[in-house]
Amino acid sequence: MRRPHRVPAATRAAVSAVAALALLTTGCGAAGELRSAGDAHSAVEPKSLWPDLPPASAAPYDYGEGETARIPGVRVMGGDVRRLDPVAVVRAGLSARTDRDSGLDELPESTVRGIEACRTAPEDCPVLAPYYRDLTGDGRDELVLGIRMPDRQLAVRVYMPDGERLIRIMSTYDAVISVELAGHDVIMRAPSVIPGYEYRTAWSWDDRQRAMLPARDEILRTPDHRRTPGPTPSPGPPAGSSSPATAPSGTAAGSLAPAVPSDSSARSPSGAR
C-alpha cells in the first residue's frame, strides 16, 4: 500500500512563514475570510400579558383534529390500501362511527346522492382520484381522498391501514385553493378575506394521538404566480371509473383541489376554520 508523503519539518516551517507573509501583504479583504456580522441581538424573555385572566375551558374552533373512525366492512388485504376501491371506502365511511363527533365527517345530502350514483353516473362522481403517501412514517402508504362538495368546498380524508382494518385518521373540509403532499404532511391552502393573502394549514401525523393534527396553521402572502386565478383545470378520471387515476407516492396532490373561486371568498364558518 502506498504511504502518504511526509513533508520535512524544516520545509513545513518555511511554507508557514511564506503563508503568514502573504496574509500580511494582502490585508483583511482576502477572499474567504470570516467577517463580523455585527453585534448579536440580546435574547428577550417572553412577557406574559394579563396573567390574572382565567384560562379558556373549551376550544373556540373544531378542526376535526384527533377524530378517527374505523371504516366498517372494509378489509385491507396485506395492509395495501392501493387495492381498495375509493368509492367503496367513502360509501362504507358514511356509516362509520367516530371516536368523537366534530361533524366534519358528515357530507351534504347532495354529495351522498352523488356518491351512491358513482357507478351509474361516473362523470358526476364527487370522489376524486386517490393519492398514496406514507404519512405516518411506518413504511406503508396511506390513502388520501378528496370529495367535492357544494359551494366549491372540498372534503379531504386520510385512511391508514391497521392490520386488515382501515382507520380514517383525518377528516376535514374547506373552500380550498389547493391540496398538496409534502413529506409527511397534507397541506391545505384556502383563500383569505385579505386580498393577496391565504391560509395554509399543514396536517401532520401525531403518534400520541394516532391521528393527523393541524400542526401548523398560518396566514401568508399569496405567491405572485397565484394572484390571478387561472382557468379551471379539467378534473381527472373519477375514482369510480374502471381505471381510477393513481399518483406515485412522491407526487404532490394538487389535483385534489378545485380552483380558487373568482371572488376569493373566505373560509366558510361551517368548515374547518
Radius of gyration (C-alpha) of the chain in whole angstroms: 27
Backbone φ, ψ for residue 127 (5° rounding): -80, 120
Tell me the residue range of the domain where 250 lies: 69-256
pLDDT the model gives residue 29: 52
Q: Does 221 reside within a domain?
A: yes
Nearest one of 220, 225, 230 to 198, comparing CA atoms: 220
Q: Does 225 reside within a domain?
A: yes
Q: Can you give the pTM of this predicted structure?
A: 0.69
Q: Which residue has the cell 384556502?
A: 190
Q: Does 195 reside within a domain?
A: yes
pLDDT the model gives residue 218: 96
Q: Does 194 reside within a domain?
A: yes
The segments of the chain whose pLDDT lies below 50 read: 1-15, 18, 22-24, 228, 230-255, 257-266, 268-271
pLDDT the model gives residue 34: 78
| Cα–Cα distance for residue pair 209/189, rounded to 1 Å | 24
Nearest one of 198, 244, 246 to 222, comparing CA atoms: 198
Q: Does 41 reside within a domain?
A: no
Per-residue pLDDT tens digits for 193-247: 999 999 999 999 999 999 999 999 999 999 876 654 544 444 444 444 433 444 4
| Cα–Cα distance for residue pair 271/184, rounded to 1 Å | 23
CB neighbourhood size of 158 (10 A): 23
Q: Does 52 reside within a domain?
A: no
Structural domain count of the chain: 1
pLDDT the model gives residue 96: 93
Contact by Cβ (8 Å): 186, 196: no
Q: Does 111 reside within a domain?
A: yes
Contact by Cβ (8 Å): 268, 151: yes
Nearest one of 264, 182, 248 to 215, comparing CA atoms: 182
Q: Does 95 reside within a domain?
A: yes
pLDDT the model gives residue 32: 66
**Residues in contact with 73: Cβ distance below 8 Å, sequence separation at least 6, in sequence order:** 92
